[in-house]
A and B are shown apart, each in its own frame.
Chain A
Amino acid sequence: MKRLLFGLIGFLLAGVALGQAPGEKLPSVIMAPVGNVELRPGGSANLELDFRIGPEFHINSNKPRADYLIPTVLKLNPPEPVTVADVKYPAGEDMTFAFSPNEKLSVYSGDFSINTVLKAPASAAAGTYPVTGELRFQACDRSACYPPRSIPVQFQVKVVKK
């Protein structure tokens, strides 16, 4: 169901992108809805956050090949007692612009996932904890780039007793 909804929203965004006049198209990045995330006190959980970049666009990977490029960064702000133990970004794919075939860029395009590890201490009280954050990125297409922007990231973590 999550994939179906993701696909439907993506298809809708593709239609909107195609409907925009030249020079007016804007990059879009959407996040797939996150299902139930359960944590036991003292335990950890892996959570994969799935994103889709609009057709024709790419965004810099988390490790772009030049200092002047803006990396894709996920920032999560979990409420206590939940913590983020790790964030793993996928490797970027190589891309070059026309007129500069020797300068390779490291980018994400299409669908990509960021893996996170969430933890709760043994003393964590049972309950539902809303996690907020943002994905910051800077997008380009084959000939132009667009100002950096952020999209909100939201999901809930349920701490359940053993």
Chain B
Amino acid sequence: MKRNAVVFVMLAVVILAMLAAGKYLDRTRSHGPIKLVGDVRNVPAPDFELPTLDGRKVKLSDFRGQAVLLNFWATWCSPCKIEMPWFVDLQKQYGKDGLVVLGVAMDDTEAAKIAEFAHEMGVNYPVLLGTDQVSDDYGDVRSLPTTFYIDRNGNIMAKAVGLLGRQEIEDDVKKVLSTTYKSYLAQPSRAAAKVRSVLPKEATQ
């Protein structure tokens, strides 16, 4: 009986210590969706080459000079579905200013099903088939949606985990669009021109 009491007290102490540590680490929990900015700001976005739904290959670095909204999502993710029409609108509105929305589908299912879902959602931006490697490169993306805002020089300006409001998303889009492309190449590269051919026409108008 005495031994049980000691074990119970020790367990209670461990739990209280974990609660205290949790509170210390998570001061923003009560403010709703998580938005991590500091951790990744100005970090070069890891490059990748991923297949699109129709079998073409897209490299992130091909978009250098443009602002990229890189959205990790899945068909089974309800909050992702809420964001998608916003991304469609943003691509229409800011495509002419150099915004490129890229969706990275993290589904463990065939491309046809993802394509059907994207079609139903009226997606007007490239949807890429994600891999574990890309997820790892971007910090083990487990929570969906997770969105990275990448400036014209290929650096991450912001990261948002979870569903945010449309206005917050648009604010981050404006921030990445306001960056200046610093390159000895004044004109977009031939690769970028090739990439633009991947984008649906309405996405760049």
Which residues does A use to contact B, with CB under 8 Å?
8, 11-12, 15-23, 26, 68-70, 97-100, 103, 105, 138, 140-148
Contact = CB atoms under 8 A, between A and B. Distances in A.
A145 B143 contact: yes
A19 B80 contact: no
In this complex, the member of A68, A105, A140 whose beta carbon has the largest number of chain B beta carbons within 10 angstroms is A68
A70 B108 CA distance: 12
Contacts of B22: 15, 17-20
Nearest to A18: B22
Interface residues of B, number: 39
B32 A143 contact: yes
B33 interface: yes
Interface of B: 11, 14-15, 18-19, 21-23, 25-26, 28-29, 32-34, 36, 74-82, 106, 108, 117, 142-146, 161-166
Contact of A99 (B29, B161, B166): B166
Q: Looking at chain A's contact residues, is the secondary structure mostly helix, strand, loop, or mixed? A: loop
Given A15-B15, A16-B18, A97-B82, A143 B33 contact: yes
A70 B107 CA distance: 11
Contact of B19 (A19, A69, A70, A148): A19
B78 A69 contact: yes
Contacts of A8: 11
Contacts of A12: 11, 15
Contacts of B106: 147
Given A99-B163, A144-B145, A146-B142, A18 B19 contact: yes
B144 A146 contact: yes
